[in-house]
Amino acid sequence: MKDMNQRLFLAIAIWLACIFGYYTWFAPKKAAQPVAGQTSAAQESPKPAVEPPVAAAPATPAPVAPKAADVPRGTKPEPPLREVTFETPRARIVATSQGAAIKSIQLLGDKWTRHKGAKDESHLDLVGEHAGEPFPFATVVKGTGGAEILPANEPYELVRQDATSATFRAERGGVTLTKTLSVNPANYGINLAVEVRSATPLSGHLWVQAGVHAQEPSGGMFSSRTNTPSQAICLEPNKSKPERLAIGAKHPEFDAQGAQFAGIDEQYFLTAVLPPAGVSASCRLETHGEKTGSLIASLVVPVQGTAAQLSFKGYGGPKDDPDLVAVAEALKHSIDFGFWSVIAELLLTIMKFFQRIVPGHNWGIAIILLTVAMKLLTFPLQHKSMKSMQEMQRIQPQLDELKKKYAGDSQRQNLEQMKLFKEHGVNPMGSCLPMLIQMPIWFALYTTLQVSVELYNAPFIPGWLDDLTAKDPYYVLPVAMGITMILTQVLTPTPMSNPSQKTMGYVMSGFFSLLMLTLPSGLTLYIFTNNVLSIGQQMYLRRALPAPPAKGQTIEVKPGSGSGEGRAKLRA
Q: What is the pLDDT of residue 7?
A: 54
**Mean pLDDT, residues 416-421 taken together:** 81
Q: What is the pLDDT of residue 500?
A: 59
Domain ranges across the chain: 37-53+79-336, 345-556
User: At residue 37, does pLDDT exceed 60?
Assistant: no
Q: What is the pLDDT of residue 490?
A: 81
**Mean pLDDT, residues 51-74 taken together:** 39
Q: What is the pLDDT of residue 222?
A: 38
Greater confidence (174 vs 41) lies with 174
Least confident of 368-377, 437-446, 495-504: 495-504
Q: Which residues pair with 31 in a beta bridge?
A: 245
Q: If we measure between CA atoms, which residue out of 221, 186, 214, 124 comes closest to residue 456?
A: 124
> What is the enclosing helix (H) or strand (E) of 476?
helix 476-491
Q: What is the mean pLDDT of the chain?
A: 80
User: At residue 34, does pLDDT exceed 80?
Assistant: no
Q: What is the pTM for the complete model shown? A: 0.78
Burial 312-324 (b: 16+ CB within 10 A, else e): bbbbbbbbbeebb
First to last CA, the chain: 20
Residue 436: HSE in the Cβ half-sphere, 13 Å Cα cutoff: 12
Plot region of 463 (φ>0 → left; ψ -120 to 50 → alpha; else → beta): left
Q: What is the pLDDT of residue 54?
A: 34
Q: What is the pLDDT of residue 74?
A: 47
Is the separation of the CB atoms in 467 and 113 below 8 Å? no
Cα(379)–Cα(106) distance, integer angstroms: 46
SS3 label, residue 277? coil
CATH class, range 37-53+79-336: mainly beta
User: At residue 224, does pLDDT exceed 70?
Assistant: no
Q: What is the pLDDT of residue 547?
A: 57
Percent of the chain at pLDDT exceeding 90: 51
Cα(433)–Cα(489) distance, integer angstroms: 15
Beta carbons within 10 angstroms of residue 350's beta carbon:
16
User: At residue 361, does pLDDT exceed 90?
Assistant: yes
Greater confidence (555 vs 235) lies with 235
pLDDT band at residue 432 using 50, 70 and 90 as cut-offs: low
SS3 label, residue 287? strand
260 Cβ contact list (under 8 Å, min separation 6): 235, 236, 237, 239, 274, 275, 330
DSSP string, 206-219: EEEEEEEEEE----
User: At residue 473, does pLDDT exceed 90?
Assistant: yes
Q: What is the pLDDT of residue 33?
A: 40
Least confident of 54-58, 250-254, 567-571: 54-58
Q: What is the pLDDT of residue 423?
A: 81
**Whole-Å CA distances, 265 to 131, 192, 311:** 20, 20, 23
Q: What is the pLDDT of residues 149-165, one digit of tens each?
A: 999 999 999 999 999 99
